[in-house]
Amino acid sequence: MKVTVSRKAHFNAAHRLYRKDWSHEKNEEIFGLCNNPNFHGHNYELIVSVTGEIDQETGYVIDMKILKDIIKFEVEDTFDHKNLNIEVPEFKELNPTAENIVVVIYNKLKPKLSSHLDLEVVLYETPRNFVKYSGE
Amino acid sequence: MKVTVSRKAHFNAAHRLYRKDWSHEKNEEIFGLCNNPNFHGHNYELIVSVTGEIDQETGYVIDMKILKDIIKFEVEDTFDHKNLNIEVPEFKELNPTAENIVVVIYNKLKPKLSSHLDLEVVLYETPRNFVKYSGE
Amino acid sequence: MKVTVSRKAHFNAAHRLYRKDWSHEKNEEIFGLCNNPNFHGHNYELIVSVTGEIDQETGYVIDMKILKDIIKFEVEDTFDHKNLNIEVPEFKELNPTAENIVVVIYNKLKPKLSSHLDLEVVLYETPRNFVKYSGE
Amino acid sequence: MKVTVSRKAHFNAAHRLYRKDWSHEKNEEIFGLCNNPNFHGHNYELIVSVTGEIDQETGYVIDMKILKDIIKFEVEDTFDHKNLNIEVPEFKELNPTAENIVVVIYNKLKPKLSSHLDLEVVLYETPRNFVKYSGE
Amino acid sequence: MKVTVSRKAHFNAAHRLYRKDWSHEKNEEIFGLCNNPNFHGHNYELIVSVTGEIDQETGYVIDMKILKDIIKFEVEDTFDHKNLNIEVPEFKELNPTAENIVVVIYNKLKPKLSSHLDLEVVLYETPRNFVKYSGE
Amino acid sequence: MKVTVSRKAHFNAAHRLYRKDWSHEKNEEIFGLCNNPNFHGHNYELIVSVTGEIDQETGYVIDMKILKDIIKFEVEDTFDHKNLNIEVPEFKELNPTAENIVVVIYNKLKPKLSSHLDLEVVLYETPRNFVKYSGE
């Protein structure tokens, strides 16, 4: 009996979409308002879903308190109230689009979970825009 | 790395569930209140999800502004503030159940997207009732 | 100790904004898309709030089950799955704008409540547009 | 054309997480606050999703009114305003974790649906914690 | 310039509505399902609103972190994962209706705030039922 | 008959809380994480509420399309995807706390509305923190 357990979390951050190796004109053309050199920001909402067998002893797939702590340590403590481009090492050379952020979060969380658990991460950049990654 | 990018949109429309080739009694029996000949209506909420590889140059699966414009042109401009039965050609002979509407929307959006992108459409008819179609 | 007790309800309906005594051009100019002669519709969300003293015996301002039944009988049963312009007598000569609908609902509910209770009605026409009336 | 039809429902219940065959200390260690012997409770939100072919006659996968009635009879009438540990027979010997509750709900609903329909059940224990089961 | 600052919080608890001095029949008649002697429960959502002048130095009415801590200490730590009837002293002789709970919360928070600040508390018992108290 | 008409809008922005005339230590002590010199950001959600008499001709308090355009021109076009501290002139010398932002927005919108209309502005900085100002 495989059950998926999901936990919501959130962080607030500033970012800017651009490539250093592109001209200002090309950055403007592709990223528009998101290329503002003074940054803009979002309340990112995160849904972390873990799929696995129910432990017959505890009735848990994973203890939600443990999952909550992993998300806090790996994501909230390092991303919340930060400037993603400047202060989060993963985005030094990687454009912090929602797509790239969700992959980075997945890659930070996956090694912290037992290998027999599947992981899926959903990231809301705004209430109307969101992305999903499950390692495929 | 396949990521799913989702965009919410919405439209308000009137509709009526019935079949011309059925008796009034049979329409009443099957569709109940939804068969009101004077129509009723909904705020339809739409979630359009596109799955594909992240473009290594831009960090996008698809530019959200382009996806937003496709949804606006194909769905919002033709469905919003309309009577689905009378004014939307696809429902001239097709009963506008949520199931049929979501398939029509999928079929309008799919040809506008690159063929290597997968599409899934979720349509909320009310906050408690919704449907999903992904072309299978 | 005055406490306000609120209950959410909802109904789906079709409507059209126009005045019979105006030309088609003036209706188009003022009401735009909302003047579609074939109607459009909404999922109306309703919040009914009743303010009064807590009954020291029961701990209730008003029994929520009774309030729920009043809303069902006065509003949901007469508005849900209806065409407001054609089937709801109050809108035979009254333009069913959100403002006029919320006043009509207030006037239907007020006489059903004890005279020492205050009433406020909020009506969501869409998730982004809503109106409020409290009899002032 | 396979479409998924979803319906939201809800129930309020008290529960306690613990195993009779464990010491008080071990229950405290594993279940923490959730092991309160006087119980605590939740507003459980439920999303029941049914996947199948659209019936070409009605335009329905399943009549939403029928699905609503099945959920009411099988889940709401037996779980709402109940103490899960004491009053719901399935949890006499089974710890009512969200994971176990969602499996019990799935197992109650599945036999009531046509065998050619697939079922998935999502259960929100709080707005931030939820689980999903689809019989796999 | 008076501004209102609001903070959301939540707690999960079990409760039962009844009066010891009433017969079982009268409790059943007035409180119905809510009188279940084995308790039921809710995810209570709380909105605490504080109104006052903006401090010209800080730009704050009240530091949100301080407000968050007051709510945590006064409400969440004493109500969360508790049985209100048995474990919260205020309800030993007071029926824990939503109305009585919101007054108790107001009375716990008010003395912790500067006397020149106004307080309003909103308590959601379910997503459809909520109450409000502002000390009047 | 005075009715309140509300419209939701939103913008994404970066900001930093600090005072130039304070030491780094004092800024850290008072504003904590919000004082990050590299900025952080939010999806600000806005609810603009206008109260006045219903126009007997149109059934409107104010045409929602006009209100929507005023909000777009005065708030969204100047705040969205901006760094509030650097790019919005009102915050050159004013700390962009939620309280100060909501007063600035009120002061921008009020002169654009007929003088017989009352205005209230609610600003969500996060889903859990929000502020309200009505000019008092």
Average pLDDT over residues B108-123: 98
How many CA atoms are closer than 13 Å to the CA of A117, on its beta-carbon side? 24
Residue given tokens 């709970």 in the structure block: E101
Q: What are the phi and psi torsion angles at B74 (to 5°)?
A: -80, -35
Size of interface D-E (CB pairs under 8 A): 81
The pLDDT assigned to E95 comes to 97
Average pLDDT estimate for A15-19: 96
Adjacent-strand bridge partners of C49: C6, C120
Query: Which residue in chain F is spatially nearest to C27 when comparing CA positions?
Result: F58
* pLDDT tens-digit series, residues C30-65: 999 999 999 999 999 999 999 999 999 999 999 999
Using alpha carbons only, how large is chain A's radius of gyration in Å? 17
Q: Could you tell me the pLDDT band of residue E92, with boundaries at 50, 70 and 90?
A: very high
Rounded average pLDDT over E45-58 = 97
| Span A74-112, pLDDT tens digits | 999 999 999 999 999 999 999 999 999 999 999 999 999
Interface residue E1 vs chain F (CB under 8 A): yes
Quick one: DSSP state of residue B74?
A: I
The band of A20, judged by pLDDT with boundaries at 50, 70 and 90, is very high
| C79 secondary structure, DSSP code | H
Q: Say how far apart CA C44 and CA C42 lie, in whole Å.
A: 6
Choosing from D10, D34, D87, D99, the catalytic residue is: D34
Mean pLDDT of F107-133: 98
The pLDDT assigned to F127 comes to: 95
According to CATH, the superfamily of the domain at F2-15+41-133 is 6-pyruvoyl tetrahydropterin synthase/QueD (3.30.479.10)
| CA gap F37, E125 in Å, rounded | 41
Q: What is the pLDDT of residues F90-111, one digit of tens each?
A: 999 999 999 999 999 999 999 9
Catalytic choice (C15, C74, C120, C125): C125
Tell me the pLDDT band of C7, cut-offs 50, 70 and 90: very high
Sort E127 into a burial class: Cβ within 10 Å, 0-12 / 13-18 / 19+: middle
What string of H, E and C letters represents the secondary structure of F106-136?
A: HHHHHHHCCCCCEEEEEEEEECCEEEEECCC
Q: How many residues are present in chain C?
A: 136
| Reported confidence tier of residue D37, pLDDT bands at 50, 70, 90 | very high
Nearest chain F residue (CA) to C127: F8
Average pLDDT of the segment spanning B109-121: 98
Structure tokens at F57: 């001709």
Per the CB < 8 Å rule, is A54 touching D127?
A: no
Q: Which residues contact F35 (CB under 8 A, 6 or more apart)?
A: F16, F17, F18, F27, F28
Q: What are the chain B neighbours of A23 within 8 Å (beta carbons)?
A: none
pLDDT classification of A2: cutoffs 50, 70, 90: very high
CA distance A2 to D27: 24
Of the residues F24, F28, F40, F81, only one is catalytic, namely F81
For the residues C102-113, what does the mean pLDDT come to? Answer: 98
| Model confidence pLDDT, tens digit, residues D77-135 | 999 999 999 999 999 999 999 999 999 999 999 999 999 999 999 999 999 999 999 99
**Would the CB atoms of B58 and A102 count as touching at under 8 Å?**
no
pLDDT value, residue D64: 96
Catalytic entry in E10, E34, E45, E76? E34
| F38-79: pLDDT as tens digits | 999 999 999 999 999 999 999 999 999 999 999 999 999 999
**Per-residue pLDDT tens over the stretch B54-101:** 999 999 999 999 999 999 999 999 999 999 999 999 999 999 999 999
Neighbours of chain E (3+ CB pairs under 8 A): C, D, F
Question: Which residues in chain F are closer than 8 Å to E5, comparing Cβ atoms?
Answer: 98-99, 129-131
How many Å lie between the alpha carbon of A100 and the closest alpha carbon of chain D? 24
pLDDT interval class at D57 (50, 70, 90): very high
The amino acid at residue B68 is K
Domain boundaries, chain B: 2-15+41-133
E34 is catalytic: yes
E81 to chain D, any CB pair closer than 8 A? The answer is yes
CB F49 within 8 A of CB F120: yes
